[in-house]
Amino acid sequence: MSPRWDTKGGAFVKRLLNWNPALDGATGKFWMTLEDFLHRYAAIFICRLPSSFRITKRDHWSFSKINQRSGGVLTCPTGHQNPQWKIEVKRSVPLFITLTQETNTFENLKYIMVAMVPNGGKGIFKPLVQEDMEMDGFHFSGKPIRQLQVSMDLDLVQPGWYTIVVCAFDPGSTIDFCLCVYSTVENCLSELVRLYDE
């Protein structure tokens, strides 16, 4: 335990946080001045906990040579050959959508992204173009990034059927991953239905 807990400022923070060394000492909790924090850290990341959502729709998939569903970025000539799902949003709700790579090593991470297309859940049959990405209700996680997980935190998604499509940057990539759609509102989503399942 840091000796700073025993200083005058530490005693004040203990009372403020109701911090009990016997209970909290092994949890890794610590305090520091704002000046020290700003000197040591450049960014703060806030994690969304799945347990905070009332509803979760989830599916696992593998990009592989077998199912021929690894078409690269969505705007490339084979972008429409990526894994796709349809889902119905039954009322205006916030959604949190994640795409997670299932790997234990950084070396195996691929550049990935996820998009949601407001096209009646029909799937996409050709590479996306600028016009597709300018449609009302189109959302994407940003350019492909080499991270374990990418996500979309959507404030308000309008009712309707959507196609969710995921991709790795390079066509032909082999990846195990999990797609999840979360909401804080019960009974607002249909099942997550895989398109072109083989």
* Residue 157 and residue 59 share a domain: yes
Q: What is the pTM of this model?
A: 0.75
Q: Is 12 helix (H, G, I), strand (E, B) or coil?
A: helix
Q: Which residues make Cβ contacts (< 8 Å) with residue 167, sequence separation at least 6?
A: 70, 71, 72, 73, 74, 79, 82, 112, 113, 114, 144
Of 170, 88, 89, 75, the residue nearest 124 (C-alpha): 75
Number of domains in the chain: 2
* Residue 115 and residue 35 share a domain: no
Backbone angles phi, psi at 193, to 5 degrees: -105, 120
Q: Is residue 46 one of the residues assigned to a domain?
A: no
Q: pLDDT tens digits, residue range 93-152?
A: 999 999 999 887 888 899 999 999 999 999 999 999 999 899 999 999 999 999 999 999
**Does 162 score more than 90 pLDDT?**
yes
Lowest-confidence region among 46-55, 56-65, 122-131: 46-55
pLDDT tier at 160 (50, 70, 90 boundaries)? very high
Residue given tokens 């999990």 in the structure block = 178
pLDDT tier at 13 (50, 70, 90 boundaries)? confident
The residue ranking higher by pLDDT, 35 or 117, is 117
Q: Which residues make Cβ contacts (< 8 Å) with residue 28, sequence separation at least 6?
A: none
> What percent of the chain is modeled with pLDDT above 90?
48
**Does 28 score more than 90 pLDDT?**
no
* Residue 35 and residue 58 share a domain: no
Q: Which tokens sit at 164?
A: 């969710």
Which range, 11-25, 61-75, 86-100, is most confident?
Answer: 86-100
d(Cα 179, Cα 177) in Å, to the nearest integer?
A: 7
* Residue 36 and residue 106 share a domain: no
Look up the CATH number of the domain holding residue 98: 2.60.120.380
pLDDT at 33: 78
* Residue 97 and residue 155 share a domain: yes
> What percent of the chain is modeled with pLDDT above 70?
89
